[in-house]
């Protein structure tokens, strides 16, 4: 792979971990450019993983969710939203809190370790379950579910 020749010749194996965002798949309208760039980083991660497998270099990505950073607290404060507001919003997430930098860091440490020696080309969501919860948030199926549960209870 162009540009990596010297690195690959001096090292055998390794791990590259790209930090992306849960906005990579779809983001808020006001974060359009940010979301597009993070989507591109996810594509780069998968393609680079394929390109570097022969050199035993693993490439993975991490998509953190809503992280309670100092900057996030500043932005919220500027919008009149207190730290307590942020904590309460976090409680509405599937696993009950906003993510911390340590949550994503723990995944990065794992991905860099030998325990992840067979993992490459993956994008790991660290979002407190938000992505999978929204996949099943289709309330249009509720009537169908109710009719199935009624028929089972009669059997």
Helical (H) or strand (E) element with 49: helix 32-52
CA distance 125 to 60: 11
- Region of 13 (left: φ > 0; alpha: ψ -120 to 50; beta: rest) is left
Q: Return the active site residues.
A: 34
DSSP single-letter state for residue 99: B
Determine contact, residues 62/112, Cβ cutoff 8 Å: no
> Coil, strand, or helix at residue 59?
strand
């Amino acid at each position: 792979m162009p540009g990596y020749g010297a690195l690959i010749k001096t090292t055998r194996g390794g791990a590259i971990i790209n930090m992306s965002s849960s906005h990579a798949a779809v983001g808020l309208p006001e974060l359009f450019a940010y979301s597009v760039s993070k989507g591109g980083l996810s594509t780069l991660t998968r393609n680079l993983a394929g390109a570097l497998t022969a050199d035993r270099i693993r490439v993975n990505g991490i998509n953190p969710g809503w992280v309670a950073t100092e900057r996030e607290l500043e932005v919220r404060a500027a919008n009149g939203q207190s730290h307590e507001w942020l904590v309460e919003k976090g409680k509405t997430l599937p696993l009950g809190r906003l993510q911390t930098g340590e949550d994503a860091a723990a995944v990065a440490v794992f991905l860099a370790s030998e325990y992840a020696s067979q993992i490459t080309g993956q994008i790991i969501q660290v979002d407190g379950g938000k992505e999978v919860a929204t996949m099943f948030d289709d309330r249009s199926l509720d009537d169908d579910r109710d009719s199935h549960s009624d028929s089972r209870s009669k059997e």
